[in-house]
Amino acid sequence: MRHTRTTRTRLIGTLTAALLGAAGLAAPATAAAPPPAPAVDDGLALTPPMGFNNWNSTHCRAEFDEAMVKGIADLMVDKGLKDAGYQYVNLDDCWALPSRDADGKLVPDPARFPHGIEAVADYVHAKGLKFGIYTSAGTKTCDGAGFPGALGHEYSDARQFADWGVDYLKYDNCNNQGVDARQRYTTMRDALRATGRPIVYSICEWGENKPWEWAADVGHLWRTTGDISDNWGSMLSILKQNLPLADHAGPGHWNDPDMLEVGNGGMTGTEYRSHFSLWAVMAAPLLIGADLRTASAETFEILGNREVVAVDQDPLGRQGRVVSSEGGRWVVAKEMRDGSRAVALFNESDTAQRVTTTAEEAGLPAAGAYTLRDLWRHRTFNTAGTISATVPAHGTVLVRVAADGRWAQHPPAVELGLDGGLLFEPGRTVPLTSTVTDLGRTAAQRVSVSLSGPAGWSLRPRTPVTSPALPTGRALRTRWEITVPRGTPTGPYALTLTVRHRSPAGDRVETALPLTATVVSAPPPGTSELGDLPWLSATNGWGPVERGTSNGESGSGDGNPITIGGVVYGTGLGVHAESTVGYYTGGACETVTAHVGVDDEEGADGTVAFEVWADGTRAASTGVLTNAMPAQPLTADVTGAQVVRLVVTDGGDGVTSDHGDWAEARLSC
Ligand code: GLA
């Protein structure tokens, strides 16, 4: 496993370097990438395809069958998804029998599709929807069961698909016999064309051959990455690979960061709203990947958000560009045909953060004020130019901003913020300050702020919670004192900061900021092994942070004894860059000590740097360490810090093989 992942990381690094190199040769770094080849000029997929595909919910399991596909088609109509723009009902792998018939024709699996494929296509068409199918540009498809692929059968298979009424083909990459990708995918394009039937052509070679550079006149969309899975890390990694490819997308030729996981259960509602918002702002194909027959109301609400769908489907066909990204705070802006910009304020990090930009940075012309539509709250405001929000961990605020002159009809946008950590030791009083800032060109009137939390918690304002009026840029700052009852178990708890205000016209506006408070216990006095103490949070480049062993890159407990320069250590933490492990120290500790280095298990590879942070101050750092170096002693003065963080960076050269060991890491309090 380790070697596969390492190889893949290296490959991505090489691709990125190659991309940068290519851009650098042609023009200065700031210039746009070379224009893509002319797109397929057939009027198909002028906006990113929308619909359903069964793979993310069923894989090859038996529940993928005619009843499922018909049930999904029914629900797409009945639940309003068809009206919202979802159109294709697509079959993925495993619909066929493993062998062709005597004439070389594909045979539908009679257990799954007892009436054949054409009958399912007819059913889908009768609902006013379109129908898609799957095969591979290889000798077999991707599933281990080994279904026939189309390599060498392109014209016959395309004919069969067209005869069945297929409107969309996903063409995968497995078992490709090393035949040139461009050749394989172009042959199928020509075979589809030869049928005379309009068929959207989805290239699925996982970004391996940089299809964004050559496939614009081959297919209508191309996968840019490996497969998505239903978890936060997978979604995030795919997002980061797809964002830099914005210049290559446009009507009829889209980057495809893979199908949606919304509703499959592996992410929170907040994370699924981020996934959906970010796919929309990237003009990604929106293929629902959840079994709608068992989907929750929240799943339908996310997938059915027409204002977000409109961002994705904007006819100008621009993929959003990264305006800024720092410290897990992302701003991505998408130009829309009406001149407005869709702006995603995305917080990748594990704590609420303020994410901010301006109308100008988002690409809008100078104006006295702008209208700002919040696409999840479905409310419109005016802003004097700041586009800003405190965004919950893993959340996205998605807005559409326009310089349209009608801004004064709408109440002013206000921004909610909170200064101070949300860490509470039971019985101790903690101060916090909330801020309510008027972002509008008009004044926020009759402003009042409140803070709510679990029963029994004391949440007392010490300064005023109201203001008669806040003009542009002015803030109401309120100091709070919070006491958590003794005996409260450690863990996360929900707090909500709410502000109510009125517009000059008297409209009422309520804005809520959900927050996570963490109840912590005081650090033990004396010297403790950091490998034994509970942590507040841990992020890691591959797999989980390990206690007492090196990092094995996959599951928990898959590491080796911590070994640096031939010396084996009995205690410590094993991490993989980029990594941060945070501990609550509550102002009661003095020193962190450790022996640090790259674990011997990576041979000669791996370069990292170790840092210890005391709140916002870097209290110690090693500089770049290589695998050839013995363990370095490290001591950090953390006196007075509320939180201590152990950080391992990639040493500036990417994370490949970066197994960092915090051997004998100790905390004195
Ligand atoms: C590949 C594709 C997936 C899915 C499976 C089916 O992994 O990338 O999207 O189609 O094959 O086997």
**How many Cβ atoms from other residues are within 10 Å of residue 611's Cβ?**
19
CA of 325 from ligand 1 middle (Å) equals: 31
Measured CA to CA, the distance from residue 169 to residue 171 in angstroms comes to: 6
Sign of CA dihedral 312, 57, 208, 97: negative
Q: What is the pLDDT of residue 452?
A: 98
Residue 498's beta-bridge partner residues?
450, 512
Tell me the average pLDDT across 405-422: 93
Q: What is d(CA 383, CA 400) in angstroms, rounded to the nearest whole number?
A: 12
Cα distance between the two ends of the chain: 40
Q: How far is the CA of 286 from the centre of ligand 1 (A)?
A: 16
Contacts of 454 (CB under 8 A, 6+ apart): 493, 494
Residue of 52, 92, 136 to mutate, ligand 1, most atoms within 8 A of C-beta: 92
- pLDDT over 90 (residue 83): yes
pLDDT in tens, 649-663: 999 887 889 999 999
What is residue 242's three-state secondary structure?
helix
* CA-nearest residue, atom 9 of ligand 1: 227
From 8, 53, 54, 55, mutation site for ligand 1 pocket: most ligand atoms within 8 A of C-beta:
55
How many percent of the chain have pLDDT more than 90? 89
Using one digit for the tens of pLDDT, what is the confidence trace for 627-649? 999 999 999 999 999 999 999 99
- Say how far apart CA 261 and CA 460 lie, in whole Å: 41
Q: How far is CA 114 from CA 71, 100, 120, 569, 593, in A?
A: 16, 17, 10, 62, 67
- What digits encode the pLDDT tens for the residues 120-165? 999 999 999 999 999 999 999 999 999 999 999 999 999 999 999 9
Please say whether the dihedral angle defined by the alpha carbons of residues 335, 29, 327 and 354, taken in this order, is positive or negative.
negative
Q: Is the dihedral of CA 587, 492, 229, 247 positive or negative?
A: negative
Cβ pair 304, 263 in contact under 8 A? no
Please tell me the distance from the alpha carbon of residue 273 to that of residue 644, in angstroms, as a whole number.
Answer: 31
Gap between the Cα atoms of 230 and 213, Å rounded: 29
Check pLDDT > 60 for residue 32.
Answer: no
Residue that is written with structure tokens 């509008």 in the block? 440
Listed in sequence order, the residues at least 6 apart from 286 whose beta carbon sits closer than 8 Å to its beta carbon are: 48, 49, 50, 51, 85, 86, 260, 276, 279, 280, 303, 309, 312
Contact 564, 600 (CB under 8 A): yes
Q: Kindly report the protein residue whose alpha carbon is nearest to atom 1 of ligand 1.
A: 142
User: Is 455 a residue whose pLDDT tops 70?
Assistant: yes
Q: What is the DSSP letter of 204?
A: -
Q: What is the pLDDT of residue 80?
A: 98
Integer Cα distance of 128 and 81 in angstroms:
12
- pLDDT band for position 555 (50/70/90)? confident
Number of CB atoms found within 10 A of residue 506's CB: 9
Among 435, 394, 441, 439, CA closest to 416: 435
* Amino acid identity at 313: Q
Residue 655 has a pLDDT of 80
Q: For residue 207, what pLDDT is reported?
A: 97
Separation CA 197–CA 184 (nearest Å): 20
Nearest CA to ligand 1 atom 3: 227
Place of tokens 């297929």: 166
Ligand 1, pocket-test mutation among 8, 56, 93, most atoms within 8 A of CB: 93
Token pair of 80, please? 């309003």
Catalytic residues: 172, 227
Q: What is the rounded CA–CA span in Å between residue 157 and residue 291?
A: 28
> Is the pLDDT score of 6 beyond 80?
no
Residue 18 has pLDDT above 60, yes or no: no
Measured in angstroms, how far is the CA atom of residue 377 from the centroid of ligand 1?
Answer: 35
Q: Which two tokens stand for residue 124?
A: 């889908």
Q: How far apart are CA 197 and CA 606, in angstroms?
A: 53
Per-residue pLDDT tens digits for 161-185: 999 999 999 999 999 999 999 999 9
Q: For residue 231, with 0-12 CB atoms within 10 Å meaning exposed, 13-18 middle and 19 or more buried, which class applies?
A: middle
Give residues (CB < 6 A) around ligand 1. 55, 92-93, 141-143, 172, 204, 227
Gap from CA of 225 to ligand 1 centroid (Å): 11
Tokens of 213: 């550079």
Residue 34 CA, ligand 1 centroid: distance in Å: 30
pLDDT over 70 (residue 40):
yes
Please give the torsion angle defined by the CA atoms of residues 437, 439, 442 and 444, in that order, rounded to the nearest 10 degrees: -30
Q: Cα separations (Å) of 84 from 72, 131, 236, 260, 309?
A: 15, 17, 26, 16, 8
Between CA 490 and CA 558 the distance in angstroms is: 28
In angstroms, what CA-CA distances link 529 with 566, 570, 621, 641? 22, 11, 20, 18
pLDDT score of 488:
97
- Summarised one tens digit per residue, pLDDT across range 478-536 is 999 999 999 999 999 999 999 999 998 999 999 999 999 999 999 999 999 999 999 99
The CB-based long-range contact list for 223-230 (8 Å cut-off, 24+ gap) reads: 223/256, 223/257, 223/258, 224/255, 224/256, 224/257, 225/257, 225/258, 226/8, 227/258, 228/56, 228/257, 228/258, 228/259, 228/261, 229/261, 229/266, 230/56, 230/261, 230/264, 230/265, 230/266, 230/267
